[in-house]
Each structure stands twice: as structure tokens, then as C-alpha cells.
A and B are shown apart, each in its own frame.
Chain A
């Protein structure tokens, strides 16, 4: 950039010039004031006036002398002396006047000297100390002496006139010169002011340009950030969509494998099925993680607030983890502090997810020794501490923890597997719960995860979940399964037939609603998401039909247990909730449960 703000050098030169100008202006004005001051005397006792008065008094004195010479009146002598005194005082004024510049003018000085000589001579017979007497000879002498002074006085007057003219001219000239100088100074100052204004304008424009550039840069940066975010988001969305799409067939695979495993298979066949099943389960878990994460990222996950028992939750987690710990021969322990709160308000599904993730990690990364879960509480928080004697982490590894797709160490990731999503999901969930997670780890010694979850004590739920074992349903039930996915229907059909029930299909909510009215069913399995009419709406409409329809057991099939809320299904009027992948065992359990607690219709009873 060639345009730069002016440096200090030129600016200080301009400032000095302005200062200099102001000073010279002040000096100039001061001089002018002096001249004015001098001229202010003109009119009071200026030179011409003083000399004119001298001339005037000279002639009055001469006149008085002439009169006395004609008329010998002794009394008039007093007047003569007065006129003489006045004349003397006039000479004195000229001699003493501080403004008269006779010292520099030899001619005036000569004239003054002559006049003073005349006074000295006249004082001999007309002075203040001489007794007044009419003496004609003296008067004649005085007349002669006065005649001699006439030229001197006229000369003085003439000179004073010239001098005044000269000084007036000088004054005018000086004034005009000064006016010119002041005018040029003012012009110069005007120029400088203009230059200053231009500089300021330029500076201002530069500032503007710079701020504009900054603004552009900011906009560009914001745009780039937005594009990056959009790109990131679209990747996430793609990933989520893919996961969702893969999950439906995966559910079917699992269901089929589940069915397959109940059949009489040879030893190797059974082994293959088990391997396939565990692989499919692993894949499904991974897909769920990815979906979870994308939902957390977009804020789609809302935590439920329902009462749960921490102790039950912990025991359940232990039960689920026990097997894996036993497989690795790791000692898994649970230590509960006294006075743990009985009931908490919160999202038990998410709490379970967090604990299972942390416990799963601990077991995964521990080769031998133990994994200990220690739970306590204070007045604000529930405190979960998970200790392991695993491989631990280096400080660098710790710093990468909780980052997406990252495990502490790449080699470790290859050795132990895992998506690396679990910890991030846990962290985000804990933050959603306004909790806190902390890690301490020593490489090769072990790790300790501490989780604090805000404590929300509550009363036990009004109806405690019954934990009774249901008698196996032996009757052949007439079941309607509504799902828009034919593969799902095929899985369901196979499973229900395996359980000895009769099944009919509907491919959306509207068809289900129609079929229910056309024929009696003992149970409806209703998928949540269907075209035309979804499962929730279909249920609401069935319930609205009233009569026997109010008691018809309707079980929700949820493709996504983590995202879809159980309460949402129950609120729509469904009796229970079955999460995919549907396993034979759970399906049987839920049918037993719902067809016993809700007594079958008289028609059904009549039929058996």
C-alpha cells in the first residue's frame, strides 16, 4: 500500500509552522496596538495643536504689547504678564512634552533654544520675581524681541505641520504594510488549515478503507466458517442417514439370526449363527452410536425425567457387564455407600448408557485385575467412580480423550477395536444432565473416571413396575402386525409363528385401523413410523372407537429405542413398547405380559 498515515515528522513541522505564524501574528498585532496608542494622542495635545497654541499666544502677547505702547495703562501690565506667562507655559509644554521628538530634530531644538533665550532676557523685566512697572523702553525692547521670534514660530508651525504629515503618511504606510503582512499570514493560515483538513480527510478515508477491509475479511472468514460447518453438517447428516438406512435390514438380520438360533442346528452351524449374531449386534451398536452422536450434535435428544432407582440401575448394569468381565477373568465389583437416595428423577436409559459405556471401556482396556464401581452421594450430586487396573493413558492420550473418533492411541484402537464414539456420547450426555466427568490415569497402571450427576431426589413412582413372571401364553392368538417394511413383517411373522400365533399384516396405520374394525384381534403390534398414518395416530383413532377397542392391547414397535420416547407411545394409548431388534424372547415376554394383565375379550375366551 502506497497510502500510509502521515508520520510524526511532517506533522510536527506543520505544527511548528502554525505556532510560528501565531507568534508573528501576535507580534504584528502588538505593534499595531503601539501605533494606535501613539495616534490616540492626536487630537488631544498633538504637535500641531501645541504649535498652533504657541503661535496664537505669540500673537496675543504681541497684541498686548502693541496696545500698551499705544495706551499707557499701568493696570494693563498685569494682563501683559499673564499673556507672557501663558506664552512661556506654551513654550514649556513644547520643551517638556514627552511625545515631541525635538531631541532628534536639530532645527526644532535650535528654535526652542532661541525661544528660551528670549524668555530669559524678557524675564529680567517681566519675570515672576520682578515688580511690575510700566516702562516704555522695556515694551519697545519686547516688541523688537517678539518680532525676531515671529519667523522662528512660523517656522516651528510649518515644521510641525510637515512632521505631522510625514508621521501620518508613515502611519498609513505602516498600517497598509502590516495589513498586507497580516493578510498574507491569514492566507497562509487558511492554506495550512486547508492542508490540515485534507490530511484529516485522507486519514479518515484510510481508516475507513482499513475498517472496510477488516469487515470484508471478517465476512469472508464467517463465510468460510459457515461453509466448513455446512460441509461438516452434511457429512454428519449423511452418516446419520446411512446408519438409519442400514439399521432396518440389520434389525431384520438379527431377528432372523435369532430365529435361526432356536432351530436345531449342527454344532458348527450353531457356532456360525452365534458369531454372525454377535457381529451383527456389534454393527448395530456402532450404528446406534453414530445416530446418537448426530442427534446430540443437532440437539435432537431430549432427556426424560421419570423416577428411577439408582440401585436397581446399578445392579442391572453389573448384571449386564458381569458376563464380559467373567470372560476376561476380571474382578468386577460394586461398592455402594450408605444412604444412597432411593429414587432419582432422570433419564434411566441415558444413565444406563453412560454407565455401560464407562464400565465397558474399563473392562475392554483391562487385561487382568479388577474393575470397581463405587457409588456415593453428597447433598448435590450422585458420585460414580470407576476404577480399573487397565493399560491407562499417557497425558497426551488423556488430552485426546473425549474427542470424536479418537482413542488415546491408534495402535490401541487397532488392538482393542471400538469406534471411539462412546466416550464422546457419554460426555455430551453428562453435560446435558449438567453433570461433570473427570479422568485420572497413569500409563500402565490404570484409570479412574469420576462422574458427578446432579441429584434430583423424588418420591417413588405411584405404581412400582411388577416384576412377576408371567405364565407362558399357550393360547393361539390372533395378532395384527403393522409395519411398512416387508422384511420386518417377515421377521415378525416368522417369530410369531414360531411362538404359535396367527399373524396378519397391515402396511400402514390406516390399513391397521381398517383391519381392526373389520375383524377381531387379540393383540396389535404397531410400528411407530409408517406412511399415510403413523402408529401413534392409528392407536389414537383405535382408542377413540371405544368399547372393546379401548382394551385392545397395542404394542409399539420402536426402530430406535434411544430416540423415540416410551412415554410418547404410552401417551398415544399404547400398552407397551418393544424396541428393535426384536428378539424372540422379548417378544414372547411382552405378549405374555400384555395378554394376561389385560384380560382377553369374551370372544377370545369363548373360542377356547
Chain B
């Protein structure tokens, strides 16, 4: 029932149903703030595991500088998360658990990065660069294999501020 409501709110105008996003029940995984139009806690949108689970989960198979060999990363598309938050900004401030911050343009969603929650089917723990790891399909878009995009791949991601 709840899922149906959420889906309905996605299908119809998200703004008129702004208040309808349920507050996070579980521990906060990702906090969205800034230039967004959907909120569930003050002027932020807090995702818990349940909320993230409602988004389509995508998988990327790629090599990366952080792990040896090819691994499968699974999680929602960044673009879906932004859409869910009703993001309107051009820039994203990504913040990691250790306060590491990086700024990237919203247009980077064209490369279909995901907020990986799992590596090879296993959930990321904090120890394992989790719970969220922004991963670009580096093997698909080889031109992303450079310093800029490696630095944009934030791990232990906990917050996104839209500007």
C-alpha cells in the first residue's frame, strides 16, 4: 500500500505530493539538502535503506582504482536519487563520512553513475567504503578514467547538497 502510494507520488506531480514522502524509519543513509523540492525531515530528504530500496537498483561491472580486478557494484542511479529529491540544481556537493567534500556538475549523471550499496552482492560496511560509494562505469566510459572522475567517486558518501 505504501509502495503504491509512493509510486503514485512518483507518477503524478511530485511537488503537490511533497509532504507525502514518508519519513525515514531506519538509520539515515543519505541526506539530501539544498535546491530540492521533496522533503521528509525539515528541509532535507533523508534516505534510509527502505527508501533507497524503492528506487530501481542498477549494476555496474567495472574495474576501479580502489579494488583489484573487475567487481559488480549495485545500487540506485544517482539520477534517480536526484529525481526523487526533485533536484533542480546544477552542482552537487558530495560529502563523505570523514567530511571529505567534492563538487561535481549535475550533468555528470549522463554517465550513469550509481550510488553503490553492494559490491559483488555484499552490502558495503563503513569499513568497506560503505554504505554508499558513488561509482562511474569506468570500463564503459574509458575517458572517465582520470583524476577528476576518480576524485568524484566519493566513498562513505553520506550527504548530497544540491546548488
Contacts and interface: CB of A to CB of B under 8 A. Distances in A.
A and B held together in a complex: yes
Interface of A: 40-41, 43-45, 53, 56-57, 82, 85-86, 88-89, 92-93, 96-99, 128
Given A88-B127, A128-B127, A82 B97 contact: yes
B147 interface: yes
Given A86-B126, A92-B127, A41 B97 contact: no
Contacts of A41: 65, 147, 150
B129 interface: yes
A89 B65 contact: no
Interface string B134-163: 000000000000110011000010000000
Nearest to A99: B65
A436 to B, nearest CB: 85
29 contacts: A40-B147, A41-B65, A43-B147, A44-B65, A44-B147, A44-B150, A45-B65, A45-B150, A53-B98, A56-B98, A82-B97, A82-B126, A85-B125, A86-B98, A86-B126, A86-B156, A88-B127, A89-B126, A89-B127, A89-B128, A89-B129, A92-B128, A93-B66, A93-B129, A96-B67, A97-B66, A98-B65, A128-B125, A128-B127
Contacts of A93: 66, 129
Given A44-B150, A45-B150, 15 more contacts: A41-B147, A41-B150, A44-B65, A56-B98, A85-B126, A86-B97, A88-B127, A89-B126, A89-B156, A92-B127, A92-B128, A96-B66, A96-B68, A98-B65, A128-B127
B145 to A, nearest CB: 9
A284 to B, nearest CB: 108
A88 B66 CA distance: 15
Contacts of B127: 85, 88-89, 92, 128
Nearest to B148: A44
Most buried by A among B66, B98, B125, B127: B127
A56 B99 CA distance: 11
A92 B124 CA distance: 13
Contacts of B126: 82, 85-86, 89
Nearest to A91: B127
B127 to A, nearest CB: 5
Contacts of A43: 147, 151
A432 B37 CA distance: 112
Contacts of B67: 96
Contacts of A44: 65, 147, 150-151
Nearest to A82: B126
Contacts of B147: 40-41, 43-44
A85 B128 CA distance: 9
B68 A98 contact: yes
B155 to A, nearest CB: 8
A44 B151 CA distance: 5
B128 A40 contact: no
Contacts of B156: 86, 89
Contacts of A92: 127-128
Contacts of A56: 98
Contacts of B68: 96, 98
A43 B126 CA distance: 23
Contacts of A45: 65-66, 150
A98 B156 CA distance: 19
B26 to A, nearest CB: 14
A40 B150 CA distance: 10
